[in-house]
Amino acid sequence: MMPYLPADLPRLPPGRDDAPWWEALRRHQLVVQRCAACGTWRHPPAPLCARCHATACGWEPVGGHGRVFSYTWVHHATHPALAERVPYNVALVELPDAGGVRLVSNVIDLRPDELQVGLAVELVFEDLEDVTLPRFRPAPLSAGHAPDSAG
Amino acid sequence: MRDRVAIVGVGETEYRPWGGITDRSEFQLACEAILAASADAGLPPHDLDGFASYANDRNDAPRLAAALGCAELRFSGMVWDGGGGGVCAAVAHAAHAIHAGAASTVVVVRALCQGQFGRFGRIGGRAPGRQAAAPSVPPGFAYALPMGLLSPAAMCALIVRRHMHEFGTTHRQMGHVAVAARGHAQRNPRAVMHGRPLTLEEHATARLIADPFRLHDCCLETDGACALILVSAERARDLRRRPVHVLAAAEGGEGAWGASLYTHAAPAPPYPAANLAPVARRLWAMAGCGPADIDVAQIYENFTGMVLLALEDLGFCARGEGGPFVEDGKLEGPAGALPLNTAGGNLAEAYVHGLNLVLEGVRQMRGESTCQVRDAELCLVAGGPGVAPTSALVLRRG
């Protein structure tokens, strides 16, 4: 599969606080941090729970069901690697199975007019040479997932 | 600090589009703006004893103090990150330092020579003819970069798109912000866009940058520098210019906002918002007045849509009402009900990271604007919406 965006976009190396997140993606698992003491979900990764300040946490595998919370189609390339790749989309994907945390991602395999707030999407893993990225595609209608409102 | 510190001098260099100033260094521009502000105030540059800035300005206080021959450096302050959100916070820090007695004559300065150093906020860009430093990337960016979320335009587009979904806000409503600013620039010979008016139709059909934003929704890219000088209100009475009082100042934002321009992890609500609501609560409390008392406003326009959210957060209209609020032309000065960005602002005068908006606020309070609002006594100034920390001021005619 061709990557949705060029593999030479700038990246940060995994750090002490988020290495397990990247390592899980490499195993084709999307995990979200969850406080071991109070159960609060959090993303992006952080070393302690903002609610109860416990540092113990689990990295919980979550289902790949999401819902588009917002999106943009980027037409103006602000990095040389993207000059031939515009327009592309960036979407905020809400994860109902993980307390409603949002991922910055992209929705692939769809026409521009299909991308709408509220669109049900499902996770796909995109393997690059040294990293695996979580992207999404429109979910089949039968897999429509009712988002929970607890987040 | 309420009403106890005053702005007594303003200065600026010429404004040129990106890369347009090549005969002097950015550092020299910073010094020139400070010297102009000193001359305006009638205060010798050697007496400056404090420096404040924001958005990681490269022209640091110790170097400026040495270059200007200052007798002593007593205060230096830099607002953490936040880009243009920190502009009013830098003014606030200067005022706090004076009120606390830490310094007596403090300059706020911002210089941008993007042709020499590359576009602010651009990742991986490189200025022509100059080796760009490795990009300084905040940690929250790790989850945005490989997804192509690289530019402030795309980041703010995500916020504004959500606002459109929830409240029915339209791109045409955003156009009123752009057209008003461009109209004001036609009165201002300093403005980069002087001589280039804009219609709603041109705004609606310009090339797309990051949907919903098109070209004229986005701030300019400018070479130039601005400075302003603050002293105590008591001392200001004896100086040559009419003082402009810092009636109130506030900075910060929602505690959970964090790096939401990159992560978009802020709780919803308040997301989608400008992150100015907590700032506004403290600002109006300190000022002892409210939005209805404001005669003229300068609100940082990184992107037009974010101004609509800022108007809501600041209390000029209810949440979700920013679009309809601007449709009647009230932003168009000098006669509109709420003239906004009366020198042209970041969209049409210059992008000196919003410090030019504070300078215009001072001119309005002195009665010297090229789009002067009659009998204006109170001016609201707000820093970059959507970031943290952001900040705001109420200026009062002295």
The radius of gyration of chain B from alpha carbons, rounded to an integer in Å, stands at 19
Among A15, A87, A92, the residue with its CB nearest the CB of B264 is A92
* Superfamily designation of domain B5-118+219-397: Thiolase/Chalcone synthase (3.40.47.10)
Q: Which two tokens stand for residue A130?
A: 């040294």
**Is A100 or B134 the better-scoring residue by pLDDT?**
A100
Q: Report yes or no: A55 at the B interface, CB cutoff 8 Å.
A: no
pLDDT at B340 over 70: yes
What is the pLDDT at residue B122?
66
Chain B residues within an 8 Å CB radius of A117: 161-162, 165
How many other C-beta atoms lie within 10 A of the C-beta of residue A28? Answer: 12
pLDDT at B139 over 80: no
What is the pLDDT at residue B117?
78
Pairwise CB contact (< 8 Å): B139 & A133: no
Residue of B nearest to A43 (CA): B265
* Whole-prediction pTM: 0.95
Pairwise CB contact (< 8 Å): B264 & A12: no
Q: How remote is the C-alpha of B136 from its chain's centroid?
A: 22
Pairwise CB contact (< 8 Å): A90 & B123: no
Chain B: nearest CA to A92, how far in angstroms? 8
pLDDT at B307 over 70: yes
Q: Residue B259 and residue B256: Cα distance in Å, rounded? A: 9
Residues of B known to be catalytic:
300, 351
- Chain A / chain B CB contacts < 8 angstroms: 118
Which of B4-13, B78-87, B324-333 has the lowest average pLDDT?
B78-87
Q: How remote is the C-alpha of B22 from its chain's centroid?
A: 24
Chain B: nearest CA to A91, how far in angstroms? 8
Pairwise CB contact (< 8 Å): B208 & A71: no
Chain B: nearest CA to A30, how far in angstroms? 13
Annotated domain spans of chain A: 15-61, 62-145
Peptide bond into B135 cis (omega under 30): no
What is the pLDDT at residue A11?
87
Placement of tokens 């010798």 in the chain? B44
Chain B: nearest CA to A66, how far in angstroms? 15
Residue of A nearest to B166 (CA): A117
Q: Is residue B204 within 8 Å of B171, Cβ to Cβ?
A: yes
pLDDT at A145 over 70: no
Chain A residues within an 8 Å CB radius of B142: 11-12, 15, 18, 44
What is the pLDDT at residue B123?
63
- Reduced to 3 states (helix: H, G, I; strand: E, B; else coil), residue A23 is helix
Pairwise CB contact (< 8 Å): A5 & B146: yes
Q: Is residue B389 within 8 Å of B82, Cβ to Cβ?
A: yes
HEC string of chain B? CCCCEEEEEEEECCCEECCCCCCCCHHHHHHHHHHHHHHHHCCCHHHCCEEEECCCCCCCHHHHHHHCCCCCCCEEEECCCCHHHHHHHHHHHHHHHHHCCCCCCEEEEEEEEHHHHCCCCCCCCCCCCCCCCCCCCCHHHHHCHHHCCCCHHHHHHHHHHHHHHHHCCCHHHHHHHHHHHHHHHCCCCCCCCCCCCCCHHHHHHCCEEECCEEHHHECCCEEEEEEEEEEEHHHHCCCCCCCEEEEEEEEECCCCCCCHHHHCCCCCCCCCCCCCHHHHHHHHHHHCCCHHHCCEEEECCCEHHHHHHHHHHCCCCCCCCHHHHHCCCCCCCCCCCCCECCCCHHHHCCCCCCHHHHHHHHHHHHCCCCCCCCCCCEEEEECCCCCCCEEEEEEEEC
Q: What integer best gives the mean pLDDT of chain B?
A: 94
Pairwise CB contact (< 8 Å): B154 & A50: no
Pairwise CB contact (< 8 Å): B137 & A43: no
pLDDT at A5 over 70: yes
Class of domain A62-145: mainly beta
* Average pLDDT value for residue range B291-306: 98
Placement of tokens 């000088």 in the chain? B229
Pairwise CB contact (< 8 Å): B146 & A92: no
* Average pLDDT value for residue range B369-376: 98
What is the pLDDT at residue A10?
86
User: pLDDT tens, A39-52?
Assistant: 999 999 999 999 99
Chain B residues within an 8 Å CB radius of A72: 154, 157-158, 161, 210-212
Among B122, B140, B153, the residue with its CB nearest the CB of A44 is B140
Residue of B nearest to A77 (CA): B209
Give residue A142's pLDDT band: very low, low, confident or very high (50, 70, 90).
low
Placement of tokens 């959500």 in the chain? B162
User: pLDDT tens, A74-133?
Assistant: 999 999 999 999 999 999 999 999 999 999 999 999 999 999 999 999 999 999 999 999
Q: How remote is the C-alpha of B320 from its chain's centroid?
A: 23
Pairwise CB contact (< 8 Å): A87 & B263: no
**Model ipTM value:** 0.94
Chain A residues within an 8 Å CB radius of B157: 72
Q: Is residue B320 within 8 Å of B167, Cβ to Cβ?
A: yes
Chain A: nearest CA to B150, how far in angstroms? 7
Chain B residues within an 8 Å CB radius of A106: 147-148
